[in-house]
Chain A
Amino acid sequence: NAGVMQNPRHLVRRRGQEARLRCSPMKGHSHVYWYRQLPEEGLKFMVYLQKENIIDESGMPKERFSAEFPKEGPSILRIQQVVRGDSAAYFCASSPISGIQGGELFFGEGSRLTVL
């Protein structure tokens, strides 16, 4: 059973470009979480999605950031018009049950975005 797959692992973008980060959850997992991590810091929650639904996006910046988890295919975190402050590692995690039920999260290896 493959783990959580994230791609690309490394992405370099110039200011103003778009970044698309993809996450395929573990087989059978319908709950996906996205987190952002700056160097030497903890993970900051961004968004929690179930298939075709955004459950909690309280950690997402109001502008330029969006996320989706379609019925078919991976979850996508999209950052439009990137700025240098968007440079970070973005982690996806999946779970077979929701966090409030005490679900353990299974993390991918992360996508490291560098904005020049």
Chain B
Amino acid sequence: SQQGEEDPQALSIQEGENATMNCSYKTSINNLQWYRQNSGRGLVHLILIRSNEREKHSGRLRVTLDTSKKSSSLLITASRAADTASYFCATDLQGAQKLVFGQGTRLTINP
């Protein structure tokens, strides 16, 4: 089964609002990454947070990690129409040499 599960599966908000996506995982990790995928395109790395970090910022992005709950959240502030995409979390499992991706959240920003 998938290591990471995103919630919600789909999210539709108005431009300017904040968007929050959550990711839960099952086993211990070294780090957690978030990626973005525009329709029909490849994935683009957004941000990486290590297991000993609790929060990280990059521009309008804010990522939190709670290892006790095995969960992470991605917050996009002041959303724009161009933020419309699918967002995936990916976990780097301890003992494994691969990134395991969740099912993704499809975010739609309405102008």
The distance in angstroms between the C-alpha atoms of A59 and B43, with both chains bound, is 19
B60 close to A (CB within 8 Å): no
CB neighbours of B96 from chain A (8 A) = 56, 99-100
Q: Which of B97-111 contact A (CB under 8 A)?
A: 97-104, 106
Is A43's CB under 8 angstroms from B31's CB?
no
A48 close to B (CB within 8 Å): yes
Determine which of A45, A59, A91, A102 lies in contact with B30 in the assembled complex, contact meaning CB atoms within 8 Å: A102
Q: Which of A34-61 contact B (CB under 8 A)?
A: 35, 40-45, 48, 55-56, 59
The distance in angstroms between the C-alpha atoms of A102 and B47, with both chains bound, is 11
Q: Which of B53-111 contact A (CB under 8 A)?
A: 88, 90, 92, 96-104, 106
A33 close to B (CB within 8 Å): yes
Is A45's CB under 8 angstroms from B98's CB?
yes
A contact residues, total (Cβ < 8 Å): 26
Is B42's CB under 8 angstroms from A55's CB?
no
The distance in angstroms between the C-alpha atoms of A102 and B32, with both chains bound, is 9
| Interface of chain B: mostly helix, strand, loop or mixed | strand
CB neighbours of B104 from chain A (8 A) = 41-42
Is B102's CB under 8 angstroms from A107's CB?
no
The distance in angstroms between the C-alpha atoms of A17 and B31, with both chains bound, is 40
B contact residues, total (Cβ < 8 Å): 25
Is A108's CB under 8 angstroms from B103's CB?
no
The distance in angstroms between the C-alpha atoms of A99 and B45, with both chains bound, is 14
Given contacts A56-B97, A98-B97, A102-B31, contact A42 B88 (CB under 8 A): yes
- A positions within 8 Å CB-CB of B: 4, 33, 35, 40-45, 48, 55-56, 59, 91, 93, 98-100, 102, 104-110
User: 12 A-B contacts, Cβ less than 8 Å apart?
Assistant: A4-B42, A33-B99, A35-B101, A42-B2, A45-B100, A48-B97, A93-B43, A100-B97, A102-B48, A106-B45, A107-B35, A108-B42
